[in-house]
Amino acid sequence: MAVVRLHLTLIEMAGGKKELIIDAQQPLLLTTLLDRLGVPHEEVGIIVRNRKRDAIDCVIHEEDVVELFPILSGG
């Protein structure tokens, strides 16, 4: 099982889901998961997979831990 954690505004976009447990016996593209959740790809700013920065087109495997953070802006 893989764990995907959403943060801040991404939780709202995903219908209130903060953490997902994913059966990733078959590798899953992060973009496919985002599409299923209804989270626009352009809203994801930082992706951390297994404690290392990764890209939006990364593949989720069994035992992965993925943290997703929105684009942050401010002044």
Domains belonging to the chain, first-starting first, are 2-70 (3.10.20.30)
The continuous run of DSSP H or E covering 20 comes out as strand 19-22
Q: 57-73: per-residue pLDDT in tens?
A: 999 999 999 999 999 87
| Under 8 Å between Cβ of 62 and 3 | no
φ, ψ (nearest 5 deg) of residue 70:
-75, 170
Q: 32-54: per-residue pLDDT in tens?
A: 999 999 999 999 999 999 999 99
pTM above 0.75, yes or no: yes
Distance CA 1, CA 22 (A): 6
Distance CA 58, CA 9 (A): 21
The one-letter amino acid at 34: L
